[in-house]
Amino acid sequence: MAGQGTPATALLAKRKVPYTLHSYDHDPRHESFGLEAAEALGLEPARVFKTLVAEVDGALAVGVVPVTGQLDLKALAAALKGKKARMAEVAAAERATGYVAGGISPLGQKKRLPVVIDASATAFDTVFCSAGRRGLEVELSPSALAELTGAVVAPIAG
């Protein structure tokens, strides 16, 4: 794969955070980007996290949950001390993050959004999330992910 550079990998390099990049051939016909990554890389799906953009009380926010689960919108709102949450429009998510749906990374987003990482991430030494492009995953410690994104860690997966 040509150049692996994305805003996410640039942030990791700039902050000197230990990470490993994993690339695979993305199949556009696959129904789930996250499950595709887990299958292609031979990973336990619970260690692979998807980045979902939602609106909490009208403001965009990010939920990072295992690819095997769903984002619990009520739990996301509660974690951010909000009242109501709903999934964001894809176009709004892409504009705010600078990434294409299916390749949205919680790292290096164009606009810094509040991030909540599901508490299940803390059960692993390392987790995987999008590195900013379909077919490219970054492996790093959950604590580094939380620190780099300024995330709240809370049970938000349903």
Question: What pLDDT was estimated at residue 4?
Answer: 64
Name the average pLDDT for the chain. 94
Q: What is the pLDDT of residue 121?
A: 98
What is the band of 1 on the pLDDT scale with cuts at 50, 70, 90? Answer: very low
C-alpha span between 81 and 139 (Å, rounded) = 29
User: Given this model, what pLDDT does residue 104 score?
Assistant: 96
pLDDT of residue 2: 41
pLDDT of residue 29: 82
Note the pLDDT of residue 5.
87
On whether the CB atoms of residues 157 and 88 are closer than 8 A, the answer is no
* Separation of alpha carbons 57 and 121, rounded Å: 25
- pLDDT average, residue stretch 86-93: 97
Please determine, for residue 63, whether its predicted confidence score (pLDDT) is greater than 50. Answer: yes
Percent of the chain residues topping a pLDDT of 70: 97
Provide the CA 46 distance to its chain's centre, in angstroms.
13
Q: Can you give the pLDDT at residue 133?
A: 92
Report pLDDT digits (tens) over 92-121. Answer: 999 999 999 989 999 999 999 999 999 999
Residue 33 pLDDT class (50, 70, 90 cuts): confident
Cβ(63)–Cβ(37) under 8 Å? no
Global pTM reads: 0.94
The confidence score (pLDDT) of residue 26 equals: 85
* Mean pLDDT across 118-138: 96
